[in-house]
Structure 1
Amino acid sequence: MQDKFYKIIDKNYGEIKENIFYRIINYEKNKRTLSQIPYLPFLDLAVTFYYMIQNSSEYISSIPITNRHLKRWKVNLKTVMEQAVENTPRIFPVKINSMEEEIRALTTEAAFQEGHSMYVISNTIGINGASCLLYKEPIKLLAEKLNGNFYILPSSIHEIIAIKDTGLFEKEELARMVKEVNMTQVAEEDYLSDSIYYYCKEEKRITVA
C-alpha cells in the first residue's frame, strides 16, 4: 500500500485526475479517519475521495486520497470534488432495480398497489453503491418515474432503497426498520447510517427525513 501511495503522490494532478472518485461513509463513526483525509459533509455522512488503481470485472483496487496528496498536487478540495462528480458515475454506473418481487413476502400486499414501488439503488458492481445517492440525474429520473417524492433508506454502504411517499409508511416506522436491520443484518464495516432521507421532486433536493 505504501508503494502505491508514493507512486501516485509523485505524479502530477493532470495524470491521475481521471481516476479520482468518491465514496460516502458515516460521519460520526469515521471521525478519526476523516481527520487525516479531505472530505465534504453531506447530511449525516461524509464524501471521501479515492484513486482507482485497477478496475475490472475480477478485481478492484483503490487507495484513499489524503491531505498529503492534495498538498503535493497543489489542488484544493473543490477541484477534487468537481472531478470526482464527473468521474464516479462513469467509473461506477448506476443500477436501479424494482424490489417488489424480492420483498413481497416480507411486507403487506398493500405495499404493492399501484404507485407504491420500492427500488434498490446501487452501482453495476454492487460495491459502495450507496454513493449513487449523489448521482443527481438518476435520482431525479427516479422521482419522475415515481411521479412524486420518496424516502431513501440507507441499507448499507453498498446500496440504498427508495420508497415512494404515498402516506403508507410513517418516517418513524421506516427509521425503526433501518435501525433494526443495521443492528441485526449489516456488518459493522458496511454500516452507513440509521437516518432516513427524503427526496423532494420539486426542489430536487435530499434532506434528512
Structure 2
Amino acid sequence: MNGYEEKIKDCLFLEVCNAAGREEWDGLAHQQKENLMLVCRLSGYDEKFQRDCGLVTREQMEHWGIEEEVLFQDAWANMFAKRPPVLMDFEDAYEHHYDQNILAMEKKPERIWRTDADFYVLTNNMDHGAVYMMDEATLQKSAEKLDGNLIVLPASIHDVYLMVEREGLDMERLRNGVYGANRAFPDADYLSDEIYRYDRDTHRLSVIPGSVQEEQAGMVLYQ
C-alpha cells in the first residue's frame, strides 16, 4: 500500500463541516449526510507531497492504493482509540468533567440540577468532537443511554447539544437559539444553523424542517 500501513494509517482523523459553498469536495475524500460533510485529515508531514498534511485528497488515496471505505474505517478507529466520544450533562461539560461520560456508565445519573431543559453535550476531550454526530453507533448508544429519540443541536465543529425528544418541545425556539449562538462564535468554528432529529428505531439522522426567525435569534438555548 505504498507506505500506508507504516506511515499513514495511524495518523488519520476525522472532522465534520458544513457542505455548503465548497467547490473542492470532488478532489477530497468525503462522505455527506444531510447538509454536513465528513472529511479526513492527516496529521504530520506528507513527504511524497512535500507539505504539512491537510485534508486527505483522492490523489493521495490513489498514491497509497486504498479505497475510501478503508480510509474512513481506519480514521474512525483512530478517533475512537485516541479521541473517543464523551457524553456529559450540561453542568459536567461546563466544568470539564470528562470523567463523567454517560456513554461509559451502566445508566445515566439522575438529573438534580435542572428539570426544564435537559441538555447534554456530545464531544471529545480534544477538539472536533462534533464529528460524532456523524457516527450512527455513537448516536444510537446516546439514545439508548438517554432513553429516547434525540434532538441534535450543533453548537460548533467541536461539540453538539443533545436533548431527549419530548412532547411540547419548541423546535423553532431551539432553531433560533442555534442560529443566534452561531453568530457569536468564530466563523472557523461554524457547523450548521439546522437542527436535527435522531430516531433510535430507524437509526436515522435527519434535518428538522423549519426556518429561523431572526428577530428571536438572540435567545440563549438553555434559558
TM-score normalised over the length of structure 1: 0.78
Greater Cα offset, 188-197 or 142-151? 142-151
Would the aligned equivalents of 2:2 and 2:65 in 1 still touch at CA under 8 Å? Answer: no
Q: Distance in 1 between matches of 2:91 and 2:12?
A: 35
Match of 2:159 in 1: 159
Q: In structure 2, give the amino acid aligned to 1:161.
A: Y
- Aligned AA for 1:66? T
State the 4+ residue runs in structure 1 displaced beyond 3 angstroms.
100-103, 135-138
Matches for 1:177-196 after TM superposition, within 5 Å = 177-183=177-183, 185-196=184-195
Structure 2 partner of 1:70: 61
Superposition CA RMSD, Å: 2.5
Counterpart check, 1:48 vs 2:52: no
What is the rounded CA distance, in whole Å, between the counterparts of 2:62 and 2:9 in structure 1? 15
What do the CA deviations read for 1:40-83 (whole angstroms, capped 9, x no partner)? Answer: 111101111111339xxxxxx95321122112112222221222
Q: Following the alignment from structure 2 to structure 1, what is the Cα–Cα distance between the partners of residues 93 and 72?
A: 35
Which deviations, in whole Å up to 9, do the C-alpha atoms of 1:153-193 show, x marking residues without a partner? 0000011000111124222221111111112x111111000
Number of equivalenced pairs: 183
Say whether the 8 Å CA contact 1:100–1:117 is kept in structure 2: no
- CA offset at residue 135 of structure 1? 3.5
User: Using the alignment, how far apart are the partners of 1:153 and 1:120 within structure 2?
Assistant: 9
Corresponding residue of 2:104: none
Q: Which has the higher strand share?
A: 1
Task: Give the number of the structure whose residues are more often helix, by fraction.
Answer: 1
For residues 120-176 of structure 1, give each alpha carbon's deviation from its aligned partner in whole angstroms, at most 9, with x where no partner exists.
Answer: 111111x11101213333322221222111100000001100011112422222111
2:119 is aligned to: 118
Which consecutive residues of structure 2, in runs of 5 or more, have no partner in the other structure? 46-51, 95-112, 209-223
Alpha-carbon distance, 1:100 to partner: 5.0
TM-score by length of 2: 0.73
Q: Which runs of 5+ in 1 are unaligned?
A: 1-9, 55-60, 104-110
Aligned pairs for 1:86-165 (under 5 A) are 86-100=77-91, 112-113=114-115, 117-125=118-126, 127-165=127-165
Query: Take 2:136 and 2:33, find their aligned partners in 1: how far apart are those partners?
Result: 14
The CA deviation string for residues 2-37 of structure 1, in whole angstroms up to 9 with x for no partner, is xxxxxxxx95222211221211110004x1342432
Q: Secondary structure at the match of 2:191?
A: coil
Percent of residue pairs bearing the same amino acid type = 23
Q: Could you say which residue in structure 2 is the equivalent of 1:14?
A: 5
Using a 3 Å threshold, how does the CA distance of structure 1 residues 62 and 117 change in structure 2: closer, same or farther? farther
Cα distance change, pair 72–118 in 1 and its aligned pair in 2 (3 A):
same
